[in-house]
Amino acid sequence: MLGKIGHHEIRHSSRVTYHKDEQYRTADLFEISASIELTEDEVRNYDIEGVSTKLFYFVDEMIANAKKGIFAELERLTAFSGTTMDAKGKPFSYDMYLDMIESMPIQFDSDGQPRLPTIVGDPKLASIIASRKPSPEHEQRLRDIIDKKRKDYLDTKRSRRLSSLSY
C-alpha cells in the first residue's frame, strides 16, 4: 500500500511584465525545486523526529533556491529600471552615494517627504556607512538634490487644465 504513494509536482507557467517609460521587459517565473524522500519505515513507524528533520532540510533547500531566483530577478529588474549603481570596486564615499541619489528617480509621500532608495550590499558596507558621517557640504548637496527632485516630481503630478470662460 505505501509503495503506491507517489510524488506531486506543481508547475505554474506565467510571465511578469515590467515597464519603464516606453520600454518593456518580460520575465518568466523561475523554477524552485527541492526533494524529500521518506522511507517506508519512517512512515510505518511514525518516526516524527526523522520526518521532521527531513522536512526541515527540505524547506531549507526550498528557501535557498527561492533566494537565488529572487536575487537574480532583482538584479535584472534593478538594472532594467536604472536603479542600480556599480561602484566598480571603489570604497564607499558620500559623493558616490549622492551621485547615486542624483541619478535615480525618487518618489515623495503625501507630506512631500522623500522615499530614498534602499542600499543593498554586503554587511560590511552597513558598518562602513554607519562609521562615516557626512560633511556639512554633503548634507547641503543632499538637500539641494532632494529639493530639485521634489520640484521635478511635483511638476509631473500637476496637470493644469484651462477651461473656456464664457461671459
Number of domains in the chain: 2
Q: Are 122 and 143 in contact (CB under 8 A)?
A: no
Q: Are residues 100 and 58 in the same domain?
A: no
Q: Are residues 119 and 56 in the same domain?
A: no
Helical packing angle, 136-157 and 94-103, nearest 10°: 10
Q: Are residues 101 and 58 in the same domain?
A: no
How far is the C-alpha of 122 from the C-alpha of 165, rounded, in Å? Answer: 61
- The closest alpha carbon to 119, from 75, 73, 84, 70, belongs to 84
Provide the domain limits for residue 124: 94-157
pLDDT of 48 above 70: yes
Number of neighbouring beta carbons within 10 Å of residue 97:
19
**115 or 160, greater pLDDT:** 115
pLDDT of 16 above 70: no
Q: Are residues 54 and 13 in the same domain?
A: yes
Domain end among 32, 53, 81: 81
Number of neighbouring beta carbons within 10 Å of residue 66:
13
pLDDT digits (tens, 9 = 90+) for 53-89: 999 999 999 999 999 888 888 888 777 777 777 778 8
Question: 163 lies in a domain?
Answer: no
Q: Are residues 38 and 70 in the same domain?
A: yes
pLDDT digits (tens, 9 = 90+) for 122-144: 788 888 888 888 999 999 999 99
* Rg over CA atoms, the chain: 26
Q: Are residues 119 and 67 in the same domain?
A: no
Identify the three-state secondary structure at position 68.
helix
Question: 86 lies in a domain?
Answer: no
pLDDT of 1 above 50: no
Q: Are residues 71 and 123 in the same domain?
A: no
Domain end among 53, 81, 109: 81
Domain end among 59, 81, 103: 81
- The closest alpha carbon to 5, from 42, 35, 38, belongs to 38
Question: What is this structure's pTM?
Answer: 0.54
- Residue 42 is predicted with a pLDDT of 86
Question: 138 lies in a domain?
Answer: yes
pLDDT of 161 above 60: no
Q: Cell match 556607512: residue?
A: 129
Question: 29 lies in a domain?
Answer: yes
